Amino acid sequence: MSLAVRRRPSPNHDGRGGRPVRQLILHYTGMKSGAEAEARLVDPEARVSAHYLLHEDGEIVLLVAEERRAWHAGVSRWRGVDDLNSTSIGIELVNPGHQWGYRPFPEAQMRQLLRLAAAISRRHGIDRADVIGHSDVAPARKTDPGELFDWGLLARHDLALARPARLLADPLWPDSAFALALERFGYDVGDLKAATAAFQRRFRQRDVAGVIDGETRAILFTLQVHEEARLQGAGETT
């Protein structure tokens, strides 16, 4: 079944320079209302956009065609790749964010996100490890979609990495070794506390203070082991 999409073209886009789409980046709008957010995303003076806007009632608005480069990620980095605007699809979810009364994302909005993210991932062959939040790619600047976003729901539909159900032991890394492991996982660790908090917003949402503790180390270590096994298994079948 095709998705119903309302079109409201934004002028804020340019070419990808021949770079393929590799990531799906999720944001919250962080504005008082969906109407205000939509107006900003099509305002040429704002110089921001996304490919899609997803309202709280589930309405999907197409702002920029997927083959074009929308301006949603800003200064960003993931897995050693910079300029993620050129290699990603951006979805803005209407939510007032931490500044204006952050709240859980409604069921109707999340249900539509599942459908939209699945369609985008299929079209572009996006790996579930590259379905990420704005805070993952810009941890020193951004906190969205935040600790109330239901990453577990996406993971249960194989659209994002899941927090491991069972953790391996704390590897007892010193902070320097944790930073290296976190960077290898994908994060920019120039601001280690911010990068740690971003990781926690994904995988330990009840405590996102950015403190490197035993549980956070164990989660990262377990994710590394699971991902290495998954990628090795995928390689063996190709």
Catalytic (active-site) positions: 92
**Termini Cα distance of the chain:** 30
Give CA–CA dist 238/235, Å, rounded: 5
On the CB side of 126, how many CA atoms lie within 13 Å of its CA? 28
Query: Which strand (E) or helix (H) includes residue 221?
Result: helix 214-236
CA proximity to 52, closest of 123, 150, 127: 123
Give CA–CA dist 207/212, Å, rounded: 11
Buried b (16+ CB within 10 A) or exposed e, 72-105: bbeebbbbebebbbbbbbbbbbbbbbeeeebeeb
Strand-pair partners of 62: 7, 52
* Cα separations in angstroms, 132 against 6, 196, 199: 24, 15, 10
